[in-house]
């Protein structure tokens, strides 16, 4: 049953979170920050340099120029000659991966023995081909959904999200992130105001930041006055070297963060988590949650647990809008906070509770 699968999936997420989930997710958003601000300032992050696939990097030695690395590309015969069978299989899988990606052939991913690497290969090829049909062939549900979301962004077509997303909140997230990039890279300047209509989590800010770069070259002064201040605030709090640099910042939370940057530097400031909820202050500002409140929306679940473990909205006490707050759904009724009708009987969970019916059973 759907509710049993949801509870089982949640238990798995809790275990993953306990053993390091926070570090992985927060780091991924740190990388997002680096890319965005590097683009805005006209720099290069250095994180997008090509890396060898199955090759090995040799040391700089006699006859080689300092700083020049030479890649030794392995062949299938090299892999088969390895004494360690595990290393041999890894080597062959990496060759198969490189071949599939180079040829952009989805079918070649099936030559990869390791399931995780095979799914990653399918994701990359499906994304490269901008093919929803290929995304749907991926066995891992999470990677499948990520693939569909990536393709929706590439196609600038939020409507394709319905191919993989069934839960209303996840579907809205996929559509909103695709909409954010659709607006940002529309080639027009007069639609920047549409970013403000995006409701889900951080995607409104993501839309504005990308629009600043793509539409106005990162020059805050060229942006219409109604949407200019966030650009000014963001740039200041990423690059402040002294407290006076923060005088241009209007929002009090942004100004406080800006002063931290001026005091300790942008890199060090990214590690601050004032309220101890597992989300850094910079990410909280980006996501529109309060960096000084453990539970921004007051639903009884802290922001870090909502965002990182549960995948629900830390800024909305009733993520799926069914009339039950997220804490009630999780703790009292065991319903899905991302699905307004957990049991799929046509009545939303809040209504069923009011009618004294079981929201987990079709009746």
Q: What is the pLDDT of residue 73?
A: 64
Contact assessment for residue 308 and residue 17, using Cβ atoms and an 8 Å cutoff: yes
Give the count of alpha carbons within 13 A of 185, CB side only: 11
The backbone torsions φ and ψ at residue 320, rounded to the nearest 5 degrees and listed phi first, read: -95, 0
- The CA-based angle 20-330-197, given to 5 degrees, is 85
Cα 96 to the chain's mean position, in Å? 27
Q: What is the pLDDT of residue 67?
A: 52
Per residue, the 3-state secondary structure of 178-217, as one string, reads HHHHHHHCCCCCCCHHHHHHCCCCCHHHHHHHHHHHHHHC
Confidence (pTM): 0.75
Burial class of residue 80 in the structure, from the number of CB atoms within 10 Å of its CB (0-12 exposed, 13-18 middle, 19+ buried): exposed
Compute the distance between CA of residue 26 and CA of residue 18 in angstroms, rounded to an integer.
14
Domain boundaries, the chain: 1-43+271-363, 81-165, 176-218
Those residues of the chain that have pLDDT short of 50 are: 1-39, 41-64, 69-71
How many Cβ atoms are within 10 Å of 190's Cβ, its own excluded?
9
Summarize pLDDT for 28-68 with one digit per residue, the tens.
444 444 444 444 544 333 333 333 344 444 344 444 455 55
**Encoded tokens for 109:** 């991913």
Query: Tokens 């963060």 belong to which residue?
Result: 257
What dihedral do alpha carbons 221, 224, 227, 231 form, nearest 10°? Answer: -20
The backbone torsions φ and ψ at residue 56, rounded to the nearest 5 degrees and listed phi first, read: -125, 140
Give the H/E segment covering residue 13: helix 2-16
* 234 contacts: CB under 8 Å, gap ≥ 6: 37, 40, 209, 254
Q: What is the pLDDT of residue 104?
A: 97
Contact assessment for residue 273 and residue 281, using Cβ atoms and an 8 Å cutoff: yes
């Amino acid at each position: 049953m759907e509710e049993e699968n949801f509870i089982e999936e949640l238990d798995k997420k809790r275990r993953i979170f306990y053993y390091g989930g926070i570090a992985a997710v927060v780091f991924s958003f740190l990388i997002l920050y680096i890319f965005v601000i590097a683009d805005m300032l006209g720099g290069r992050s250095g994180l997008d340099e090509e890396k060898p696939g199955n090759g090995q990097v040799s040391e700089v030695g006699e006859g080689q120029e300092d700083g020049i690395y030479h890649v030794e590309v392995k062949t299938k015969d090299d892999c088969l000659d390895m004494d360690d069978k595990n290393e041999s299989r890894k080597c062959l899988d990496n060759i198969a991966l490189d071949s599939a990606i180079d040829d952009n052939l989805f079918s070649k991913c099936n030559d990869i023995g390791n399931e995780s690497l095979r799914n990653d290969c399918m994701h990359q090829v499906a994304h490269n081909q901008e093919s929803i049909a290929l995304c749907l062939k991926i066995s891992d549900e999470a990677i499948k959904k990520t693939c569909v979301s990536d393709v929706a962004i590439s196609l600038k077509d939020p409507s394709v999200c319905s191919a993989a997303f069934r839960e209303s909140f996840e579907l809205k997230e996929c559509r909103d992130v695709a909409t954010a990039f659709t607006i940002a890279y529309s080639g027009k300047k007069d639609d920047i105001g549409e970013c403000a209509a995006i409701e889900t989590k951080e995607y409104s800010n993501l839309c504005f930041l990308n629009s600043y770069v793509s539409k106005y070259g990162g020059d805050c002064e060229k942006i219409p006055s109604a949407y200019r201040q966030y650009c000014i605030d963001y740039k200041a709090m990423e690059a402040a070297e002294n407290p006076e640099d923060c005088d241009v910042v209007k929002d009090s939370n942004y100004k406080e963060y800006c002063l931290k940057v001026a005091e300790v530097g942008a890199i060090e400031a990214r590690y601050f988590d004032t309220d101890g909820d597992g989300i850094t202050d910079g990410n909280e500002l980006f996501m529109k949650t309060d960096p000084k409140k453990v539970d921004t929306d007051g639903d009884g679940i802290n922001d870090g647990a909502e965002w990182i473990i549960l995948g629900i909205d830390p800024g909305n006490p009733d993520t799926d809008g069914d009339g039950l707050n997220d804490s009630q759904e999780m703790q009292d009724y065991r319903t899905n906070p991302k699905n307004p009708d957990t049991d799929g009987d046509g009545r939303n969970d809040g209504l069923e509770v009011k009618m004294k019916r079981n929201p987990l059973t079709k009746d």
